[in-house]
Amino acid sequence: MEIKLNLGCHKTILPGFINIDLVPFEGVQIEDIIYLKSFENNSVDFIYASHCLHTFSRSNVSIALKNWYRVLKPGSQIIIEVDNMVPIMQQYLAGKIPVIDGILPMGRLVQGFFGKDEEGMRKYIAFDFEYLSMFMTEAGFKNIKQINKPPYSRHCSQTNICVVAIK
């Protein structure tokens, strides 16, 4: 049986995947996605992790990626989606972020990347492709490439980075 993981899925249940999150939603397996303790080494065929890495501290990003690498079978793929900090920084530098409800552009930028709690999910780290690739390389992943979003993604491709890599 093929094992595919949808990590940090929140309410997005993907058919054919084991949908995992710490928040108890219907159809979700409750587990700490940093460690994936219920999965043995080299036991998983595919991992999809969408918009969950930014909720970890820098050190936990490294720990999570090493554990995700650990559970993947050799030659298996991982796809990771994260917010792309580059477009929003470009908008900020070009003066294109308006003041809304009294929140100045820098305040909106900081809130957007680091300070907004949404149902217990706080962002602690931001990425561009090179920074994410560095973490993935340190964890052991190879052939790291930026791709278009997969068909099951619910995020905007203009503001995200979608990366595929191989164990």
Residue 138 backbone phi and psi in degrees, to 5 = -60, -30
Instruction: Specify if 116 maps to a domain.
Output: no
Residue 139 lies in a domain: yes
How many domains does one find in the chain? 1
CA distance 61 to 135: 8
123-133 per-position pLDDT tens digit:
677 888 999 99
Quote the pLDDT of residue 146: 94
Examine residue 95 and state whether it is found in any structural domain, yes or no: no
Q: d(Cα 123, Cα 131) in Å, to the nearest integer?
A: 16
Residue 134: inside a domain, yes or no?
yes
Write the DSSP assignment of 40-95 as a string of letters. Answer: -TT-EEEEEEES-GGGS-HHHHHHHHHHHHHHEEEEEEEEEEEEBHHHHHHHHHTT
- At residue 148, does pLDDT exceed 70? yes
Kindly report, residue by residue over 54-90, the tens digit of the pLDDT: 888 899 999 999 999 999 999 999 999 998 877 777 7
Structural domain includes residue 150 = yes
Whichever domain contains 33, its CATH number is 3.40.50.150
| Span 146-157, average pLDDT | 77
Report yes or no on 26 lying in a domain.
yes
In a domain, 49, yes or no: yes
- Residue scoring higher pLDDT (136 or 157): 136
- At 105 the pLDDT is 72
Query: What's the domain range around 57?
Result: 4-84+122-166
Query: Distance (Å, rounded) from C-alpha 46 to C-alpha 5?
Result: 6
pLDDT at residue 102, as a whole number: 80
